[in-house]
A and B are shown apart, each in its own frame.
Chain A
Amino acid sequence: MEILVCARRVPDTSENEIELNASGNDIERDELVYSVNEPDNYAVEEALQIRDRVGGSVSVVTVGSEEDEEVLRRELAMGANSAVLISDETFVGSDGRGTATILKSFVKKGHYDLILTGVQADDGAAQVGGMLAAMLDYPFASLVNSIQVLEGKLKISREIEGGNREISEIDLPCVLSIQTGINEPRYVGMRGIRQVASVPIPTLGLSDLGVETASVGETAAKVKRVKYFIPVLAKGAEMLAGSREENAEKVFELIAAKGGLK
């Protein structure tokens, strides 16, 4: 099974408090800690486990900039067979459709049986996998939380409401978006990353992929972010500012007052 995983590097929300920049047209990106998008990490792990069960290879691709190479390096350390960085100035500002167009051109240059993405990026929209499938005319399934390889097809489970699971068969080749929790991604240490430090990661651009300039980048985008702001969901909590002990006592009193004690 030849598997391609599309992954991204994103600001890590468990490591950062996301704040706005002074002009409100972006988040403050200086000093942000970045890491691989969490669902993508599960997608890479799933690809590796499938390869180890049925044979084949795992390639990882990201559309981004030079800085995103660290994510690819990490995935090589996890065990991916190869990694490619897609980067070109004309790609900057692409919307989901633009990114899917770029990936389609890349996929067409290879022969993949299975293409995986993470279900959604923290700053994303859960869209590129489904768009890519439609452009390739491959079947698609989102929110996949288990995969069993059969002859020429897969038996998959999708996460639906209430923790229920929708079971389907899907023909290969196909595109799946992978939900978190599908597996336990392996740990990668600094040593593992050092071991793959010399593995070449080719960079492909517009002309390598044969992408039409008019179909990508900011000018082609039908959807553009115009401003960022901090949402106001509700009036906000009454914040307790006492000592830890005082706060604990107050919380106990509140639980009792609300009829919560048995």
Chain B
Amino acid sequence: MARIFVYIAHKAGLVEDSAIELIQAANKIDPAADPIAVVTGNGTDLDAACNYLQPLFGEVWTIANPALSYPNAELVRQVLVPVLPSNSILLVAHDHFGIDLGPGLSIKLNSAFVPDVVSVEGLEGSALKLVRQEFGGQVSTEVRCDISSGAVITVRPGAFKPGQTVPKSGLVLDKSSAVGTLSSRRRYLETIVAESGDVDITKHSVLVSVGRGIQEKDNIGIAEELAEALGAAVSCSRPVVDAKWLEKSRQVGSSGKTVKPKVYLACGISGAFQHLAGIKGNPFLIAINKNPKAPIFQVADVGIVDDILEFLPELTNKVREMRGVAAK
């Protein structure tokens, strides 16, 4: 059995939850694996990450270099290639960094690549069975990956819950000397923080959230009327922002805002995991969608199969009527 490595992403020394979830994924592949942490960075940030990792891993491999103080995937790929033993299995979180790093790394290591894995079904000889999703989560596929020459596997954040682990002693091995001079043809300049926008959707207890089902910009008013009647705010999923129907600051999801309302109305939203990743705090989730097979109905508390362009005005009328009565 090849050794399993997990790449630990951290922000200025603070280790990401999704990196810790990789331990569970590694244990699913091989319960006897005792995965090895690989962490890159520089100075006190790297020391902080390393200290955090020691009780969780038997071995922690560190690669220190001033050029690695920001995780530029082009540089991280360069340093991992000489450090990882041949035929290794490397797990990385499937986020903007894993998407950047993984495919090219698998080519440089001459290993297999499986992205965005949500479940591990087991190992048969050199065939590792993994589950992915396609078509925005409407179908799952089981893939068989030949790991005889190693594999790079990116793992969906949140798919593997961190479990109990036996405390480890965390032998730290400094692998920095295996790395030669670092230079990249892609140079990080700065990070521009998202603008907050006119309405702060993270502060509202009810969100009327619209997706592709709203169909056109002129229909956004239907959601705004309902939100106004409820004292709620309008948020949305990615396609609505891509189409420029609402500002980016209204987007819920991994590439948008994380919200924690009491009630979330998902209106014409299919329920892609990137969207669901932005809904926290276990709100009461009401889904309205024309497609009875939309994945959103699997995670919602209450579902209605209907056209939102018809249902939302009906609901707005009902809210106005009931609240009008209540006010008298």
Contacts and interface: CB of A to CB of B under 8 A. Distances in A.
Interface of A: 11, 13-14, 17-20, 27, 96-97, 100, 119, 122-131, 133-135, 138-143, 155, 157-171, 174, 180-181, 184, 222-234, 236-240, 244-245, 247-252, 254-256, 258-262
B173 interface: no
Given A134-B107, A223-B114, A237-B303, A142 B262 contact: no
11 contacts: A17-B293, A127-B102, A140-B104, A141-B74, A155-B189, A163-B248, A164-B192, A231-B118, A251-B304, A260-B263, A260-B284
B contact patch SS:
mixed
B51 interface: no
A164 B287 CA distance: 28
Q: Which 5 A-B pairs rank lowest in CB-CB distance, beginning with the nearest? A: A130-B103, A237-B303, A163-B194, A262-B231, A134-B104
Given A162-B256, A166-B188, A237 B287 contact: yes
Contacts of A122: 134-136
B205 A167 contact: no
B113 interface: yes
Nearest to B133: A231
Interface stretch (B30-38, B54-62, B82-90, B238-246): B238-246
Given A169-B187, A233-B299, A240-B303, A260 B103 contact: no
B191 interface: yes
Given A181-B241, A236-B298, A251-B304, A231 B140 contact: yes
B139 A227 contact: no
B200 interface: no
A contact patch SS:
mixed
A224 B185 contact: no
Interface stretch (B19-27, B41-49, B143-151, B160-168): B143-151
Interface in B94-111: 95-96, 99-100, 102-108, 111
B220 to A, nearest CB: 16
Given A140-B74, A161-B96, A260-B206, 7 more contacts: A223-B114, A224-B144, A226-B129, A228-B142, A231-B139, A236-B297, A240-B302
Given A13-B138, A18-B139, A168-B186, A131 B113 contact: yes
A127 B323 contact: no
Contact of B140 (A141, A228, A238, A262): A228
A162 B322 contact: no
A140 B106 CA distance: 14
A126 B104 contact: no
Contact of A239 (B103, B146, B190, B297): B297
B314 interface: yes
